[in-house]
Chain A
């Protein structure tokens, strides 16, 4: 029997995996993938809450589910922008190593 806890636990595990990937990977594409995982972890959590929460009356309006759809949309746009940036940086500097992309320091 699936409960809310399964969803929340899955979301948390996925978020931590994504965070680890976003923080530790050197490749900018891998970092982007980590971020995508984190976004989807949040989506799972939201859908789970929306589905299982029967206390609050407004949960029947599917707020969490709609938010998940919004996030998927925004994530798609963000991924497109981020990939464009990565390609642009690669063209300029011949690398996508985020450790070397530090133009914004002091």
Chain B
């Protein structure tokens, strides 16, 4: 995965703010956030609920655009792009891993994994091949014909990870990926993500769980819409 792009940061966010109008008052969900993530990093963004971490996640994932500030993804300024371009960027450059998996219940595991490739316009045979490869990578090669309802929570999340991997995007974005899992499966999922990181995938996780964040190479705290970055995981003292 690693290539010669390391001189340019993968993610560069500068002075990003996001405001919501709520009942006449302006709520600042993000207040001048700056963040840089390089290729191959494993970053955990940790913060309590209401801290703005989901807003940051949405902006990093190009699901939402900031009110002000700039966001470069692989050197491309994306904060002011039209919706169709953003959809393309989500499709090619970002792999989402959601807390509640967000698989389509009527599709099989394989079809779910194929979905981003369909929107990329990839042809049938190649698409199936890539999807199978992604499922093999997460250890679910024998569950391709199962629907999400026929899989356990951990397996569903692994299908979701396979879906995120299928398009080989430069960055995987996890929004509380272990939030809906018990501690054993959640450990397995984290293990898988660490493994992917070791293989070179860049991973950005959002969590409020310190144990999860601790496994990341780098921890960024967020509170009241402001980022507070220590040097690395070692410098952050556990919260409780």
Binding between chains A and B: no
B-to-A contact residues, CB < 8 Å: none
A-to-B contact residues, CB < 8 Å: none
